[in-house]
Amino acid sequence: MKFLRKKLNKKMVDLSKIDRRKFISKAGSGAALVMGWPILSSCDNSNRSKGSTEATKSFEPDIDLELTAVQSRMAILPGSETNVWHFQGRLIKGDENVLEEVEGSYLGPTIKVRKGQKIRIRFTNSLPEETIVHWHGMHVPEEYDGHPKDVIETGETYVYEFEILNRAGTYWYHPHPHGRTGPQVYNGLAGLLLVTDEEEQSLNLPAQEFDVPVVIQDRSFDNDNQLVYVESRRDRMRGFLGSQILVNGNANQTLDLKAGCSYRLRLLNGSNSRIFKLGWSDGRKVTVFGVDGSLLNEPKNLPYLMLGPAKRVDVWLDLTDISQGAELTMENQSFPLVEAMSGGMMGGEMMNGDESSLPQGSVYDVFKIKISSNGSNRYKLPDKLAGDNYLKASDAIYATNPRQFTFAMSHMEWTINGRTWETTGVSEEEKVKLNTTEVWELINENGEMMMGSEGHPNDDSEGRGMMGNGGMMNRDEMGRGGMGNRMQMAHPIHLHQLQFNVLEYIVDDVDPELWDAVKDGFIKEGWHDTVLLMPGMRVKIIMRFENFKGLFLYHCHNLEHEDMGMMRNFLIN
């Protein structure tokens, strides 16, 4: 599929032609899938940031744009159009290349900015429920980060104003209301935000048609081509897995590229919970030269690439040795991650396997490269890319005794250090000082679940078990395989407001078979904002808190886990 792009002009679609009642009623398992979960009140809006509803007169933006979340219908599959939610953009001020639409896609417009520019984004909510936009990976003040406490209602506008302080990298934006992030992103609300800077521009990397976004998502559809979302308690507990892969919001997973050229592929795993192990079908190495918030110091050639939800990587693709008419496939390779309770049952639903038509860790095609024509360009991948400016553990406090944050299930709740979501709540261990550098250790506990050290359920002392949809389960039922003692789940962990360096992956407690299958696809180098924790894994990261005080989020980016409470605040003061 050849993705044609067009620059957005200053006209908007006439939203009055969208019949909202028809949209909601016709959607069934499409738009109504979003209504299928209770519409939760994300927070007490009394904590909303002041001054966020109007443009600041003293702020003089280089870029001024409108972004509106709307209901729409788009052709994704042959036949009936699909009800989606969609970001629309309109440029008020700035270079015409700032906003670029992925034509024929539900994805929002790609926003292109340079470090040092000032941007104003006037976000309007035209959805039938509250929402807010998070600028994933961006270093911004608290009031512009898209915290759930700042959600706006239908018809309201939130104004973001900030300077681009980030390094060149591939960032993105998506909604962030508590309890509704999963369904809103799944329904279509996401877009790319690309940052460039002088360092990147000096490297003569592929540009324009040779700089190709590849947003990978999984979706499921009913017989009327409407989106199908969470249908069972199991879907929520493990995270939702769709039955087919979409690329750039399109079911035709083919990119039309030219023989004789080199390309920059900006990969984003925009799925709610699916993990990819990406490798080229002809066995060539996956050449990575950027990750999340930076270029790497030098390229890395990997046999395959592990790409967790929300993760971005820049992949170099050299087609100078391929002839016109050839094809190349990026495939998902096998890895043995069974995201389930061992022999478990929850509320009458078996949890001992992945029943998706595309199970986690199975083999399938992700996208194809079709060499449809010949061409040429002079882009070459440099041996040296970004400067070596990583943080040093010797400069950090708690370097030898880092703060520890454990991501686990407790009493059927996804928790961080035993705590679940609080709108503005913050514990002492979550308070940090401005202008300090810290080491944190993120821990995936590997799912010790409802079992004490003696092998007995630990939720009470009277023999009562845990509550599922189907009723109570006692100790004997658990011991007979009704509830296993481990929840084997991966957790992609995202920290807001900052980029960090990875110091160490610690895998002593990771299943050896699993680690052998995935270890060569992890990237330690670069500046990250999201890191994938396989079951039993620990990772040490180092970060600096600078420029802005305030309340920011850290959470699992399995969106179903996030919506169920695996999200907390940290406070910079």
Tokens at 398, concatenated: 């708690």
The answer to whether residue 9 scores a pLDDT higher than 80 is no
The letter for the amino acid at 278 is L
With 0-12 / 13-18 / 19 or more C-beta atoms within 10 angstroms meaning exposed / middle / buried, residue 525 is middle
Q: What is the pLDDT of residues 509-566, one digit of tens each?
A: 999 999 999 999 999 999 999 999 999 999 999 999 999 999 999 999 999 999 999 9
Average pLDDT, the chain: 85
Backbone phi, psi, residue 273, to 5°: -145, -5
Tokens at 489, concatenated: 């789940």
pLDDT grade for 10, boundaries at 50, 70 and 90:
very low
Q: Which of 319, 325, 353 is nearest to 339 (CA)?
A: 353
pLDDT at residue number 104: 87
β 169-175/244-247 pair status: unpaired
pLDDT at residue number 307: 98
The letter for the amino acid at 201 is Q
The letter for the amino acid at 49 is S
Three-state DSSP at 347 gives coil
The answer to whether residue 454 scores a pLDDT higher than 80 is no
> What distance separates the 2 farthest-apart alpha carbons in the chain?
74
pLDDT at residue number 107: 98
β 349-350/364-374 pair status: unpaired
Q: What is the pLDDT of residues 485-512, one digit of tens each?
A: 456 799 999 999 999 999 999 999 999 9
Position with higher pLDDT, 26 vs 393: 393
pLDDT at residue number 108: 98
Tokens at 291, concatenated: 């990750």
Asked if 90 and 38 touch (Cβ cutoff 8 Å), the reply is no
Please count the other Cβ atoms lying within 10 Å of the Cβ belonging to residue 484. 20
pLDDT at residue number 188: 98
pLDDT at residue number 339: 62
User: CA angle 437-440-445, nearest 5°?
Assistant: 175
Position with higher pLDDT, 128 vs 340: 128
The answer to whether residue 196 scores a pLDDT higher than 50 is yes
pLDDT at residue number 103: 85
Three-state DSSP at 173 gives strand
The answer to whether residue 8 scores a pLDDT higher than 80 is no
pLDDT grade for 55, boundaries at 50, 70 and 90:
very high
Tokens at 66, concatenated: 């409108």
Q: What is the pLDDT of residues 360-387, one digit of tens each?
A: 999 999 999 999 899 999 999 999 999 8
pLDDT at residue number 446: 67
Residue count of the chain: 573
Q: Which of 162, 169, 220 is nearest to 196 (CA)?
A: 169
Distance, in Å, from the CA atom of 101 to the CA atom of 7, rounded to the nearest integer, reads 6
With 0-12 / 13-18 / 19 or more C-beta atoms within 10 angstroms meaning exposed / middle / buried, residue 281 is middle
Distance, in Å, from the CA atom of 515 to the CA atom of 255, rounded to the nearest integer, reads 32
Q: What is the pLDDT of residues 81-135, one digit of tens each?
A: 999 999 999 999 999 999 999 888 999 999 999 999 999 999 999 999 999 999 9
pLDDT at residue number 487: 62
The answer to whether residue 280 scores a pLDDT higher than 80 is yes
Instruction: Mark residue 10 as left, alpha or beta (left: phi above 0; alpha: psi -120 to 50; beta: remaining).
Output: alpha
Rg (CA), the chain: 23
Q: What is the pLDDT of residues 232-252, one digit of tens each?
A: 888 889 999 999 999 999 999
pLDDT at residue number 471: 34
| Cβ within 8 Å of residue 562, ≥6 positions away | 181, 182, 555, 556
Distance, in Å, from the CA atom of 145 to the CA atom of 389, rounded to the nearest integer, reads 25
Dihedral sign, CA of 78, 81, 85, 86? positive
Candidate from 202-211, 309-318, 428-437, 449-458 with smallest mean pLDDT: 449-458
Asked if 18 and 71 touch (Cβ cutoff 8 Å), the reply is yes
Candidate from 33-42, 191-200, 214-223, 299-308 with smallest mean pLDDT: 33-42
Three-state DSSP at 210 gives helix
Please count the other Cβ atoms lying within 10 Å of the Cβ belonging to residue 309. 28
Distance, in Å, from the CA atom of 288 to the CA atom of 309, rounded to the nearest integer, reads 17
pTM score over 0.85: yes
Distance, in Å, from the CA atom of 57 to the CA atom of 36, rounded to the nearest integer, reads 42
Q: What is the pLDDT of residues 305-324, one digit of tens each?
A: 999 999 999 999 999 989 99
